[in-house]
Amino acid sequence: MGDRAVAGKARGRQSGGRARRRLSVDERRDELIEAALQLFSTRSPEDISIDDVAAAAGASRALVYHYFGGKYELYLAALGSAAKQLSVLLEPPTEGKPLDRLRISLSRYFDFVESHAAGYTALLRGGPADRSGEVGEIVDGIRQLLLDRILHSLDVVTPSPVLRITLRSWMAAVETAGLDWLDNRDVTRPQLEALLVDHLVVMFHAAGRHDPGTGELFDRLAHEEMG
């Protein structure tokens, strides 16, 4: 019996020195997605292969294909997982002035931008998938999530058309600023975030000339900020 125990230990050393915990189907799938996300956070999706993901997860190439069918499906799964992570990060703060809550949400958004730099860039500039299809739906979902969080921060339930257009225009500016910052990083993140909040306030002021409700929102924010 002692000899069998020694032999078993020797086999354990030969296989890497540790026994791998048996994972459920969902756990194994999540592990592969996490490996893909880690790769997408440092490299463009076009530069990542199924073999890269398999190696990062300590899995076989065949197993990755078994769970996802191919690189396109893996990319979609990774983006969907990232969107869920962003949803958690953007859970609206419950205390503070409206613009303070917006600043917190914007900072969390840029936490995501910075930690998923390559994937974020590929997502907004176009990736290996058709952005008018399922990837486009994920992108639109993220944008709708951000819009909902902004409205919640501003204590607005149903935006007027002018306010909705103003906020969507500002969100496009946030995305452009994020891409520019990732390329250049010649301003600090706090400077960038403060600039974008000031941009929104100026846009509210301009939009208020076209919509009384947005004008009232601007007046309320200015009063609360100064008070």
Q: Give residue-wise pLDDT tens across range 121-157.
A: 766 765 544 456 787 888 888 889 889 988 988 889 9
Q: Is the Cβ–Cβ distance between 121 and 186 less than 8 Å? A: no
* CATH assignment, 91-226: 1.10.357.10
Q: What is the pLDDT of residues 27-55, one digit of tens each?
A: 889 999 989 888 877 777 778 899 999 99
CA-to-CA distance for 35 and 48, rounded, in angstroms?
Answer: 11
**Is the separation of the CB atoms in 115 and 173 below 8 Å?**
no
Residue 171 has pLDDT above 70, yes or no: yes
pLDDT at 96: 87
CA angle 156, 159, 180 (to 5 degrees): 90
Band (224; pLDDT cuts 50, 70, 90): confident
Distance separating alpha carbons of residues 24 and 89, to the nearest angstrom: 27
Encode pLDDT of 182-203 as tens digits.
989 999 999 999 999 999 999 9
What is the CATH code for 23-81? 1.10.357.10
Domains 23-81 and 91-226 share a fold: yes
Average pLDDT over residues 212-223: 94
Return the domain boundaries, the chain: 23-81, 91-226
What's the sign of the alpha-carbon dihedral 67, 71, 72, 75?
A: positive
What is the per-residue pLDDT for 227? 65
| Residue 20's pLDDT band (cuts 50, 70, 90) | low
Q: Tally Cβ neighbours within 10 Å of residue 11.
A: 9
Residue 19 in tokens: 């026994």
Q: Which range, 18-32, 138-152, 205-219, has the best average confidence (pLDDT)?
A: 205-219
- pLDDT exceeds cutoff 50 at 15: no
pLDDT top residue among 86 and 3: 86
**What pLDDT shows up at residue 126?**
53
